[in-house]
Amino acid sequence: MPMQERFLVDVNLSTVPLFKTRCLVIGSGIAGLSAALAAAARGQVILAAKSDFMESNTAYAQGGVAAALGDDDEVDLHIEDTLKAGGGLCDPAAVRLLAVEGRKRCLELIDLGVEFDRVDGKISFTREGAHSRRRVIHADGDATGRAISRTLLQAVRNHPNILGLENQFAIDLLHENGNCRGALFLDTRYGRYTRVEAGVTVMASGGLGQIFRETTNPAVATADGYAMCFRAGAELCDMEFIQFHPTTLYLAGAPRFLISEAVRGEGGFLINRAGERFMKRYSEAAELSPRDVVSQSIFKELAATGDTCVYLDVSRLDPELVARRFPTILSVCADYGVNLPRDPIPVRPAAHYMMGGVVTDMNAATRVRNLYAAGEVAFTGVHGANRLASNSLLEGLVFGHRAGKAEPGADAGFGPAALRKRLPAHGTRLDIDDITRSLKSLTWRNLGAYRNAAALSETIEKLKAWSSYVLAEEFHMRPGFEAQNMLTTARLMVESALRRNESRGAHQRTDFPETSAAWARHNLISLNDPE
């Protein structure tokens, strides 16, 4: 994907206010907070968030954290379930690290004060799709991510070595000769630039769901970290593997609110408009199949019936269980006239989680010196072609902690990382809202759960055309930067999808419906790839 290596703005850095720190962490989800706390034990840390600290994919995570903590569970079983769900593309060593260290990190969360739900004094476990045991721990019923974020954030705020900066949009990484030296930020409250020079930079910016029209992700998930790392020379991998969550609320006027997989784990089942339970027609494991299988089955059922949604029936569940385990879902559904557990919940899949990302080693290091990545933005090898439910928070804990322990390299010092001269601007006024709406519709139509070469090729041509003038513009506001990042990342995703001539996990090609042994490998993409 040949693109000129450049930055998004033309700024004289000598005029920009400067912060210096041992470690810069970009992003305040579970990976960023974990990295900041681990790094603070070694020196000064700046933690920067594009919005307020609580606005992240982590805070919206409902189901919980998967960890082999139960009396009937074992690390090897967790590893086996993860590998099985991943469609043959998981890195076994990374998966073992995730499961082994994940237990330790979860116990540390408990020591830190996260109050996971308990029954008779013992931690309560739930089961989710493709797990062989009830191993998902949860907090506040269905508000696990928010509970973890609150606790970690309080620890961050109390730590004397951490300076937190909210409303700081990371525009680009400062890099020179393959070495990262921090980042340039836009303070979105006052419209001023800020420069942070750092010995170690940790990218923990989260996901990219806002590229799609239908997504569970919050408004901040605009693919910024993928695009920034790509422009800095990092390698990305398996960008075709976007997970579609099977069950999101589907009502006119309602947000695409995620209905946790734990609802099915507790006994909820999927029905069509005729009231028929249909999942058994597609998979023996029915509602507890891996997410890719459930999502694809729902789309097949919708194609067969001509309907726009299916329904999640929870009428068999004890009302007290629903109120205790799913208070947030209960409240949101009630706001839109769905009274649980009596009424079935109208649901359909939506873009949820990126399995691919910025390539790292087991210590979260990228190929750009002194640049680390953790959380959803990173590719660690643990998810393969389809992420096992509730392994995402665990990955953020484990690899965020590892990234925070990184030591600056010998060439990490602060120096003249200058912004390169921009491409010439067209000088036109662009309607950013129209661009992003067009992008979302295009990707949802052609890069959704089912793809084919003709649709992907059409998408690439449109993305190239739009990029020719959108990426050439110089913006000084967050929506413009986000649009550029989404265009760049969408093109990486489409080109990756076009390359993989098979169907595997979350990537389904109608023109290559079989899984190919030749494609039991990873799909790398970087700035200097030939077109």
pLDDT in tens, 103-155: 999 999 999 999 999 999 999 998 888 899 999 999 988 899 999 999 999 99
pLDDT at 141: 87
User: Would residue 291 show up in a list of annotated catalytic residues for this protein?
Assistant: yes
Q: What is the pLDDT of residue 176?
A: 87
Assess whether 121 and 206 both reside in one domain.
Answer: yes
CATH (domain of 281): 3.90.700.10
Per-residue model confidence (pLDDT) at position 364: 98
Q: Flag whether 252 is in a domain.
A: yes
What pLDDT, on a 0 to 100 scale, did the predictor assign at position 423? Answer: 45
421-425: average pLDDT: 45
Q: Give residue 430's pLDDT.
A: 87
- 191 shares its domain with 258: no
Per-residue pLDDT at 429:
76
Which residues does 271 contact at the CB level (< 8 Å), separation at least 6? 277, 278, 310, 311, 313, 344
Q: Is residue 334 situated within a structural domain?
A: yes
> What is the full DSSP assignment across 411-475?
T-S----PPPPPPPP--PPP-HHHHHHHHHHHHHHHSSSEE-HHHHHHHHHHHHHHHHHHTTS--
pLDDT band for position 4 (cuts 50, 70, 90): very low
The pLDDT, as a whole number, for residue 419 is 47
The reported pLDDT for the residue numbered 94 is 98
Mean pLDDT of the region 426-443: 87
| Residue at 413 is within a domain | no
Residue finishing a domain among 334, 349, 364: 349
pLDDT of residue 411: 63
CA distances from 167 to 26, 47, 353 (A): 11, 11, 24
Residues 351-389 as b/e (b if ≥16 CB within 10 A, e otherwise) read bbbbbbbbbbeeebbbbbbbbbbbbbbbbbbbbbbbbbb
Residues near 465 by Cβ (< 8 Å), separated by ≥ 6?
none
pLDDT recorded at residue 5: 41
Q: Is the pLDDT of residue 502 over 50?
A: yes
Q: What percentage of residues in the chain have a pLDDT greater than 70? A: 94
Domain contains 73: yes
Say if residue 276 is in the same domain as residue 225: no
Number of folded domains that form the chain: 3
What's the pLDDT tens digit per position in 174-222?
A: 998 899 999 999 999 999 999 999 999 999 999 999 999 999 999 999 9
Tell me the C-alpha distance between 71 and 135, whole Å: 10
- Looking at residue 32, its pLDDT comes to 97
pLDDT at residue 2, rounded to an integer: 46
Q: Which of 368, 385, 404 is the last residue of a domain?
A: 404
Residues 274 and 321 in one domain: yes
38 and 126 assigned to the same domain: yes
Q: Are both 185 and 236 inside the same structural domain? A: yes
Question: Would you say residue 410 has pLDDT above 70?
Answer: no
Give the residue carrying structure tokens 């590998």.
Answer: 83
User: Is the distance from CB of 182 to CB of 173 less than 8 angstroms?
Assistant: yes
- 366 and 498 both lie in a single domain: no
Q: How confident is the model at residue 255 (pLDDT cuts 50, 70, 90)?
A: confident
User: If pLDDT is split at 50, 70 and 90, which confidence band does 63 have?
Assistant: confident
Question: Is-contact 423 6, C-beta < 8 A?
Answer: yes
Hey, what are 500's tokens? Answer: 């993989």
Residue 409 lies in a domain: no
Shared domain for 45 and 187, answered yes or no, is yes
Residue 410, CA distances (Å) to 9, 97, 233, 336 in order: 29, 27, 19, 57
| 216 domain residue, yes or no | yes
Contact yes or no for 207/221 (Cβ under 8 A): yes
Q: Is the pLDDT of residue 426 over 80?
A: no
Let me know if residue 424 belongs to a domain.
no
pLDDT in tens, 262-293: 899 899 999 999 999 999 999 999 999 988 89
**Residues of 70-95 as b/e, b for ≥16 C-beta within 10 angstroms?**
beebebebbbebbbbbbbebbbeebb
Choosing from 105, 150, 291, 478, which is the catalytic residue? Answer: 291
Please state the pTM of the whole predicted model.
0.93
Q: Are residues 378 and 459 in the same domain?
A: no
Mean pLDDT of the chain: 92
Residue 48, pLDDT > 80, answer: yes
The arithmetic mean of pLDDT across residues 468-485, rounded, is 91
User: In CATH, what number is assigned to the domain containing residue 221?
Assistant: 3.50.50.60
Structure confidence at residue 417 (pLDDT): 47
Q: Are residues 161 and 24 in the same domain?
A: yes
Closest CA to 94 of 237, 292, 206: 237
> And the tokens for 250?
């589907």
Q: What is the model's pLDDT at position 472?
A: 87
Residue found under tokens 């980042």: 183
CATH number, domain with residue 463: 1.20.58.100
Domain that holds residue 279: 244-349
61 plus 203 within the same structural domain:
yes
Domain-embedded: residue 316: yes
Residues 327 and 191 occupy one common structural domain: no
